[in-house]
Amino acid sequence: CNKDLNRVPINTTTAQDVFSTAASTKEALAKVYGAFALTGSTGSGSSDLGGIDAGTSDFLRLYWNAQELPTDESICAWGDPGISDLNFMSWTSGNILLNGLYNRSLYQITVVNSFLRSTEKPASGISATDLTHYRAEARFLRAYQYWVLMDLFGNPPFIDENSLIGTVPPKQIMRADLFKYVESELLAIIPDLAAPKTNEYGRADQAADWALLARLYLNAKVYTGTDRSTDAITYATKVINAGYSLMPKYKNLFMADDNKNNPETILSINYDLNQTQNYGGTTFLVNGCIDGNIPGGPSAYGVPGGGWGGNRARSPLPKLFGSDYTTSNDSRAKLLQGNVYDISSVSTFAQGIKTAKFSNMNSDGTTPANASVYVSTDFPLFRLGEQYLIYAEAVLRGGTGGDMATAISYINKLRERAYGNTSGDVTSISLPFILDERARELYIEGFRRTDLIRFGEFTTSTYIWPWKGGTAGGRSVEDKYNLYPIPSSDIVSNTNLVQNPGYGGTTK
Amino acid sequence: QQTHTISGVVTGQGNVPMAGVSVLIKETGKGTFTDPSGVYKILADANAKTLVFSYVGYRKQELPITSDHINAALYLDSSSHLTDVVVIGYGAVRKQDVSGAVTTLTTKDFQKGTITSFDQMIAGKAAGISVTSNGGHPGSGGTIRVRGISTINGSSDPLVVVDGLPFSGYVNPNDIATITILKDAASAAIYGSQASGGVILITTKKGTPGQVKLNFNTQFSVAKIKKYVDVLSANQFRNYINTNPYFDSTERSLEGTANTDWQKEIYQTALTTNNSLSISGGVGKLPYRLSVGYLNQDGILKTDKMKRTTGSLSLTPSFLQNHLKVELNLNGSLTKNYNANQGAIGAAVVYDPTQPVYDPSNIFFGGYHQWMNGGVLNPNAALNPVALLMQRDDESKYNRGFGNLKLDYSFQFLPELHFIANFGYDVATTNGFTREDSTSANAWKANNDAARGTNNIYNNKNQNVLAEYTLNYDKTFSSIKSHINAMATYAYQDTKYTNNNYRNYDFAGDTIPGSTPVLYPTGLQQNSLVSYLGRLIYTYDEKYVLTASIRRDGSSKLAPGYRWVTFPSVSLAWNIAKENFLKNSKTISTLKLRVSDGKTANQGGIGNYQFYPGYYLSDNVSKYQFGDNYYNMYTPSPYNEALTWETTTSANAGIDFGFLKDRISGSIDVYHKHTKNLLINALLPVGTNFTNQLIGNVGEMVSKGVELNLSLIPIQTTDAQWTINFNAAYNNSKITKLTQNPDSSFKGIPVGGISGATGQTIQEEYVGQEPNSFLVYKQVYNSQGKPIEGAYADLNGDGAINPIDDQYFYHSPYPKWTLGFSTNFTYKKWSFSTVLRANIGNYVYNNVASNMGVARNMAINNYLANASTDILNTNFIGSNSYDMQSDYYVQNASFLKMDNIGISYNLGKIFHSDRTNLTISGNVQNVFIVTKYTGLDPEIYSGIDNQLYPNPRVYTLGLNLNF
């Protein structure tokens, strides 16, 4: 009976099964994308990751926390593990949210690698063009996640399609080398990606690739010490000329039907309250920014069963729209709520201006069917508005290939949408203005930490905001906080890794 | 040669005639049994000089044949390990040949009262065996641990073998004759890969030849809750909300005017009846025993109920002049459960006491009070506990049948050689449904539709098959004073679990939109285990015993190349009391030294197919949108090709002693266990798998312990007998290896999730610590001894309180010492007994106090919630994220419990029939607890007190009739 020991699962599908038909190959591609939209594959309680609460293990929620909570744009009232360290810039390598993000990014990369390995030899029945696109998109998502890891953690472990499952611990890659890798990948896949606006909604095309290159080059000096503003202008220009236009109404970018008639978003993370459910993503962004006391109640935001009362702005953000934002004609300020600017008790959500920017309502005022807590709003990972701002900033930073007049005109496009007319137009721009305009345009979209670091204001005393560094008035913190630590759980498991400076352990 | 008939009566405890006592002529080996009146008759020839009377649980007695009429009075054997034959794995040995750490308990040792599962019978009865109740839900049983734990994510449950079947099937406690626990690896190694948690061998009662014997046992019991969780009364609650400045007028306006004690609303006085009837005897040469049982048990939680019917049949005939012995055991049980929604337990603790149970205006939710918000259910609030119970109907039927057929053939030409074949089969099916009313708020929360309700069905089937073939050679070589018992076995075992998958249905029977689709209509899990094993027991001169065994296991759960493992064991025993210098000692009656070493493994923690790479399709709420379509996601599963056996080597040294004809007897054992390739949900180097944590073989762990068993018989006369048993065990387990690298910010793998804050855990696995140790902040107290909110000791002195850096390890849930005490006093027809247990050094995290002892959770999101009375001590707001991680909530849960106290009276014969005997008894279980722990019950296996189903106090009246 020793042959009975060779038991294999009868209801399990092998890689061979999956990659033998066009339909199932596309379902595998759905996971390549879904890895950054969902926490797991079996409902909102499931997680691809261990050691972290399932509902908080999705990419956007973790990325957002890491990019927004330490900044002037947000502070969270909850006592959940890891939150207050981000609020107060006192994180250690044991921070569970940073650990989750690091793992989530590398998880998606692992899924991409496996997808690339399994599709090296095209199976019959799948069109070669489709497969070329799939593979290039997978490489794009991998490059995107390596960009995230490079921006936040600097020197992550490196794996690609040659790294087999369950084998040797990966080697570490240094930030400057990773920059080269991300750049070379993004450049290499351009011909294999679909032309702008020709791919299915939710899938990356050349414009997404250019948009990421523009973002990468804008921040290149932080990563490598070398300014690449000229390249940022080049690729932002490609995107701007690719046929996108601004969504006529700013708030419609962040509503449940933002997947319909959206001329601005280049690539989004897609959610659906019936078919793509989790407790992260935009569900977190909508519910986390309001509570039961929001005017109109949670129902006014399409989440009658929700409203978790967590994230709201620190006082500098609303004041970017004037000392009393409610009197501003800027429609972007009209998404803010409340009149208590100052936060004396971080855990009291009633204090602080609410950034109720994301909503689960449709733009026509209707509520999607079955709405309760989950949200259908898609998150704009890349949109035209950001590319205008990149162009303008790169010009101000001395990049060539662009000009100031065009830069000002791009900024005024954003402001004309915000004001509904030209009353908000500017005639000159400066770098400090760009930083503020980015906050006005892109607040709580996950840019702020990267922006403040690029402007040298994240850790320094140049700019102090309430509760920065953990004191109510704010204070500067050590420069080591410009980079997050490699999570201790990986330091103890992978002997190849060296910790980032200042976070204990051995450093290079 | 002249033969003559000898007859007499054998009596036992309280001078009651004993049936089924073995009566043997020592010189010739001829024997018989007493009939139900205790009478025996035996034909003796001229060589017959001595009669030997023996009965399980009683001390063997030898009487010289001085006349034709010899009566015998048997005494209870106080020290359980003195029974003559001890069941060990794959066979039985004479007690004197036992060389490992083995404890045997028989009927007289078992705990009494309303016993519904065997674990309850052995609690507190043997050193190193701990039984922790899983709560008061009917049929929920207990967690048994043999010598603590030696794994993290493997299974610590002992293997339970019923009549040779390793399937832990349910046996009516009234059918159990003996329970033997193999504690050290040398004894357990014969069960190899299943034995790291120890082995419990259960033998059921068998028929004895002779007259038909009937036994009827009936019990009636009343269970009442002992203690409620301490929460604020309605007036205290109103007062707290109204006077604490933390709350504002909006929150105060939510208060109601009712005074509801929600815990009283959900619990009830529960009745149980338990009846068993057994018939045993022999039809010709066919000894049989047939028993039926019926248990009808209510839970103290309203709507909780279990009805169980059991039947068992045992046939033990012999053929071919006793060369072929056949043993057939069949057990069946039909269980019907009415499962209360245990969510009501937590809800009753937390629900606002100022609100009424009913709110007639709330037609949406069946007239129960529920927290509403803007006309719909407030989804953040707790649900009405009474509604949770009354609006659910959860019924299941669990039917199980298992049994084995054992053929033991001794060769006519070589009677010392046996060929034994044992075939076992076990099948269990579960069918059930969970229904919620259309007005159920609970269903609304799940389905987001007030008029849907739920009606979900489930069914599954478990099938186990066993086949074993054994050659056994057993012979005494008088000339060289040697006894040899050698065996070799091939065993095959297969386990198959089939689950039928259904969609979720609503009350009307319609599919709930968006509910999990059925990808595969059935799920199948199957694994096989193939084993080869052998054992030699060599005894020299009755004094020296060498036991050596070896087993080789292959499991389908592991990949080829990692599949097979070998388990050797060796043990030695020296019966010092039989040496010439002690043989005639009047003081020392037993003295034996034992040493052993052996290896076991743990396959319980390894799932099926974990080495196998596969993909699974996501469910319908986990799709991704491309274009206008949503696609299910094909997801690669994590897998570990290199998964292998977690093995434990364990060394044991022990001494058995007995003084004054064993009136004082006992044993002391010391052990050292070392687990390698610890199965742990290990941290993977990130990027090496489709997850970051996966069950793998990473760490090591060491356990050390000492055990003492002591039995005393202070009084032993015809009229009175007093026995005392005491046991004590010390155990300490530590993780000795866990990761590849040290890191200052790494304090282990978090485990032990707690309620009250998303993702928070309170325990860690870490090197140098006990498993599941608490990792906490050190609370700072004011001069009045009250904890200061948010103030913790800055352990690393950096001026800030940070996670990990300022947290420290503070105790574990596992007791350092476990103690058991039981005594039995019999005077004439009266008998009195009690059992006490104590744990010392176990700590519990009071999650009820930490989650509910803060103002923050009393009024949030437009509803009110009750608080633990702990808030009156702390006045905590709970705004600091570290508050729940304070060592203030990790409390010393050492305890002394009286498990059981009972009295019984033997009325003797009734209806003027000598064949009858009636005993009535009264019993109280869960009599009292002495502890400093402030929560409901200090005995919580996980160490996290999160609203356990309370164990009630149970009053039992019993009646036992033999006829």
Distance of CA B184 to the CA centre of its chain: 18
Q: Do A37 and B624 touch (CB under 8 A)?
A: yes
Task: Give the three-class secondary structure for B719.
Answer: coil
Taking only the tens place, the pLDDT of each residue in B911-941 is: 777 778 899 999 999 999 999 999 999 999 8
Q: Do A493 and B684 touch (CB under 8 A)?
A: yes
Q: Do B758 and A7 touch (CB under 8 A)?
A: no
Phi then psi for residue B931, to 5 deg, are -160, 155
Q: Which secondary structure element, helix H or strand E, spans residue A128, and what is its range?
A: helix A128-152
Write the CA distances from B646 to B33, B603, B651, B679, B928, integer angstroms: 48, 8, 17, 6, 40
Taking only the tens place, the pLDDT of each residue in A189-245 is: 999 999 999 999 999 999 999 999 999 999 999 999 999 999 999 999 999 999 999
**All domains of chain A in start order, with CATH:** 16-193+474-508 (1.25.40.390), 281-355 (no CATH)
| Window from A334-338, A387-391, B453-457 with minimum mean pLDDT | B453-457
**Region A177-185 average pLDDT:** 98
Taking only the tens place, the pLDDT of each residue in A336-352 is: 999 999 999 998 999 99
User: Closest Cα of chain A to B528: distance in Å?
Assistant: 6
* Spatial distance between the Cα atoms of B10 and B30, rounded to a whole number of angstroms: 18
Question: How many residue pairs bridge chain A and chain B with CB atoms within 8 Å of each other?
Answer: 336
B842 touches B814 (CB < 8 A): yes
User: Closest Cα of chain B to A443: distance in Å?
Assistant: 26
To probe the interface with A, which of B466, B563, B635, B884 has the most A CB atoms within 10 Å? Answer: B635
To probe the interface with B, which of A492, A497, A507 has the most B CB atoms within 10 Å? Answer: A492
To probe the interface with A, which of B152, B621, B639 has the most A CB atoms within 10 Å? Answer: B621
| Window from A145-154, B27-36, B838-847 with minimum mean pLDDT | B27-36
Q: Is B563 on the interface with A (CB under 8 A)?
A: yes
| Window from B611-625, B908-922, B934-948 with minimum mean pLDDT | B908-922
Which strands, in side-by-side order, build the sheet including B31-33? B31-33, B22-25, B50-54, B61-64
User: Closest Cα of chain B to A300: distance in Å?
Assistant: 12
- Within A260-364, where are the H helices? 281-288, 316-319
pTM value is 0.83
- Beta strand pairing status for B31-33 and A75-76? unpaired
Q: Do B615 and A307 touch (CB under 8 A)?
A: no
Phi then psi for residue B340, to 5 deg, are -70, 155
Indicate if the pLDDT at residue B861 is higher than 90: no
Structure confidence at residue B97 (pLDDT): 82
Q: Do B615 and A42 touch (CB under 8 A)?
A: no
Question: Could you tell me which residue, B506 or A179, shows the higher pLDDT?
Answer: A179
Indicate if the pLDDT at residue A402 is higher than 70: yes
Q: Do A46 and B622 touch (CB under 8 A)?
A: yes
- Which sign does the torsion angle of CA A258, A259, A262, A264 carry? positive
Distance of CA B688 to the CA centre of its chain: 38
* Spatial distance between the Cα atoms of B3 and A312, rounded to a whole number of angstroms: 103
Mean pLDDT for all residues in chain A: 94
Closest CB to A15 among B613, B693, B742: B613
Give residues 726 to 755 of B whose Cβ lies within 8 Å of A.
739-747, 749-750
Q: Do A81 and B759 touch (CB under 8 A)?
A: yes
Task: For residue A507, name the pLDDT band (cuts at 50, 70, 90).
Answer: very low
Structure confidence at residue A505 (pLDDT): 59
Give residues 109 to 138 of A whose Cβ lies within 8 Å of B.
109-111, 114
Taking only the tens place, the pLDDT of each residue in B297-329 is: 999 999 999 999 999 999 988 888 788 989 999
Task: For residue B515, name the pLDDT band (cuts at 50, 70, 90).
Answer: low
* Spatial distance between the Cα atoms of B694 and B389, rounded to a whole number of angstroms: 38
Chain A residues in contact with B464 by the CB 8 A cut-off are: none
Indicate if the pLDDT at residue B517 is higher than 60: no
How many alpha carbons lie under 13 Å from residue B662 in its C-beta half-sphere?
Answer: 19
Indicate if the pLDDT at residue B492 is higher than 70: yes
**Region B751-766 average pLDDT:** 85
**Which is nearest to A426 in space by CA: A474, A388, A458?**
A388
Q: Do A43 and B524 touch (CB under 8 A)?
A: no
Q: Do B744 and A95 touch (CB under 8 A)?
A: no
To probe the interface with B, which of A273, A344, A493 has the most B CB atoms within 10 Å? Answer: A493
* Spatial distance between the Cα atoms of A11 and B76, rounded to a whole number of angstroms: 57
A25 touches A119 (CB < 8 A): yes
B849 touches B891 (CB < 8 A): no
Q: Do B618 and A42 touch (CB under 8 A)?
A: yes
Q: Which residue of B has its CA nearest to A109?
A: B687
Q: Do A276 and B625 touch (CB under 8 A)?
A: yes
Structure confidence at residue B516 (pLDDT): 59
Q: Is A270 on the interface with B (CB under 8 A)?
A: yes
Task: For residue B714, name the pLDDT band (cuts at 50, 70, 90).
Answer: very high
- Give buried/exposed letters for A43-76 (b at 16+ CB in 10 A, else e): bbebbbbbbbbbbbbbbbbbbbbbbbbbbbbbbb
Amino acid identity at B103:
T
To probe the interface with B, which of A11, A98, A116, A299 has the most B CB atoms within 10 Å? Answer: A11
**Region B787-796 average pLDDT:** 91
Q: Is B561 on the interface with A (CB under 8 A)?
A: no
Q: Is A379 on the interface with B (CB under 8 A)?
A: no
**Region B687-713 average pLDDT:** 92
Amino acid identity at A192:
D
Structure confidence at residue B294 (pLDDT): 96
Q: Do A51 and B693 touch (CB under 8 A)?
A: yes
Indicate if the pLDDT at residue B80 is higher than 50: no
**All domains of chain B in start order, with CATH:** 4-73 (2.60.40.10), 219-600+621-962 (2.40.170.20)
Give residues 397 to 456 of A whose Cβ lies within 8 Å of B.
none
- Beta strand pairing status for B646-659 and B664-683? antiparallel
Closest CB to B742 among A275, A348, A492: A492
Q: Is A258 on the interface with B (CB under 8 A)?
A: no
ipTM computed for the complex: 0.96
Chain B residues in contact with A345 by the CB 8 A cut-off are: 879
Task: Give the three-class secondary structure for B121.
Answer: helix
**DSSP state, residue A377:** P
Closest CB to B642 among A9, A42, A166: A166
Task: For residue B77, name the pLDDT band (cuts at 50, 70, 90).
Answer: low
Q: Is A16 on the interface with B (CB under 8 A)?
A: no
Closest CB to B633 among A27, A80, A81: A27
Amino acid identity at A418:
A
Rg (CA), chain B: 31
Q: Is A200 on the interface with B (CB under 8 A)?
A: yes
Task: For residue B154, name the pLDDT band (cuts at 50, 70, 90).
Answer: confident
Closest CB to A495 among B631, B741, B757: B741
User: Closest Cα of chain A to B688: distance in Å?
Assistant: 5
Write the CA distances from B228 to B142, B237, B294, B345, B622, integer angstroms: 21, 17, 31, 10, 42
Indicate if the pLDDT at residue B9 is higher than 90: no
Q: Do B626 and A33 touch (CB under 8 A)?
A: yes
Q: Which residue of B has its CA nearest to A504?
A: B744
How many alpha carbons lie under 13 Å from residue B276 in its C-beta half-sphere?
Answer: 23
Q: Is B560 on the interface with A (CB under 8 A)?
A: yes
Amino acid identity at B481:
K
Indicate if the pLDDT at residue A413 is higher than 50: yes
B340 touches B303 (CB < 8 A): yes
Q: Which residue of A has its CA nearest to B635?
A: A31
Q: Is B609 on the interface with A (CB under 8 A)?
A: yes
Q: Is A26 on the interface with B (CB under 8 A)?
A: yes
Indicate if the pLDDT at residue B448 is higher than 80: no
Chain A residues in contact with B376 by the CB 8 A cut-off are: 304-305
Chain A residues in contact with B606 by the CB 8 A cut-off are: none
**Region B623-638 average pLDDT:** 95
How much of chain A exceeds pLDDT 70, in percent?
Answer: 99
Question: Could you tell me which residue, B325 or B895, shows the higher pLDDT?
Answer: B895
**Region B766-789 average pLDDT:** 94
Mean pLDDT for all residues in chain B: 89
B91-96: long-range pairs with CB below 8 Å, 24+? B91/B472, B91/B485, B91/B487, B91/B535, B93/B485, B93/B537, B96/B542, B96/B545, B96/B575, B96/B592
B434 touches B459 (CB < 8 A): no
User: Closest Cα of chain B to A308: distance in Å?
Assistant: 8
B210 touches B19 (CB < 8 A): yes
Closest CB to B609 among A9, A78, A347: A9
Taking only the tens place, the pLDDT of each residue in B186-223 is: 888 899 998 989 999 999 888 777 678 899 999 999 99
Q: Do B884 and A79 touch (CB under 8 A)?
A: yes
